[in-house]
Amino acid sequence: MKARPGSAPLLLSLAVLAPSCSVGAHESIGSVRGSLDLTEPVAALVVTLDAGSIRIERGAATAVVVEAEVLRRGGAAADFAGELRFADHVRLARNGDRVEVTSAHDLAADAGDWQLRLTVRAPEAIALRAGAKIGQLVIDVPDARSIEGRLGIGDAAVTADAVAERVDLDVGIGNASATIRHGAPQQGMRLACRTGSVAARLPERVNGTFALRTGVGDVRCAARFGLDRRRAETSAEAKGRLGDGEAVYELVTGVGNVTLD
């Protein structure tokens, strides 16, 4: 990858889990599906994995539906002849006012032999929280109360028409991006990577305080934000305020580029 003139060299994006291929020595052995009926509304959905991919989409207001592709360590996968049962691979339960989705393997002695690719369909306008030690996170919903994502290694991407409160993504090694089409979060946004690129695309009607910075890399922001951009030998930052809103938008990375559109 060639760096633009005047910018620092960038690390390549880490796509740890691609939907069309296996991860490392793991092979797909099939898929399972389960659902949890909601007799009363819930406030939040929490999805966590040690390793795997998580995709959250809009679902019905009366249920949370989970589809999981099951991957097993190579060699064992070719010989696996057991019947795939949802409860053997996925834990789906209500805990108070939230629904929790986890891998049934994460605390087992053979946890390293298993990985899941989850697609979770949940009600609109609730808080969404998801994370994995290694993997990929995609959240693509019309709206949410808030969105929070945590990845040790991998890429995290959020797309939403509107988020009422806040978007918070934290990635160790990988990339973090968020696109909000219409309703900007009232409390703002924080996208952070230790190593990787950060990018946010916000609607026209947005205001608040903005702080963009990278230790090694470049910062680019659209002219409409009117930010004061400064660059040192390897680092760069941009700061400013747009309108009179109280929201705080922070886009930061240790090594990589920061983009605000």
Domain extent at residue 52? 26-260
Domain presence at residue 16: no
**Which residue type sits at 212?**
L
Instruction: Find the helix or strand (DSSP H, E) in which 77 lies.
Output: helix 76-79
Domain presence at residue 237: yes
**Which residue type sits at 139?**
I
As for how many domains the chain has, the answer is 1
- The pLDDT of 33-51, averaged and rounded, is 96
Domain presence at residue 8: no
Domain presence at residue 17: no
Domain presence at residue 83: yes
State the pLDDT at residue 107. Answer: 85
Angle at alpha carbon of residue 102, lines to 86 and 90, rounded to 5°: 5
**pLDDT confidence tier of residue 250, bands split at 50, 70 and 90:** very high
Domain presence at residue 1: no
Supply the Cα-derived Rg of the chain in whole angstroms: 20
Domain presence at residue 13: no
pLDDT in tens, 185-224: 999 999 999 999 999 999 999 999 999 999 999 999 999 9
Domain presence at residue 5: no
**pTM (predicted TM-score):** 0.88
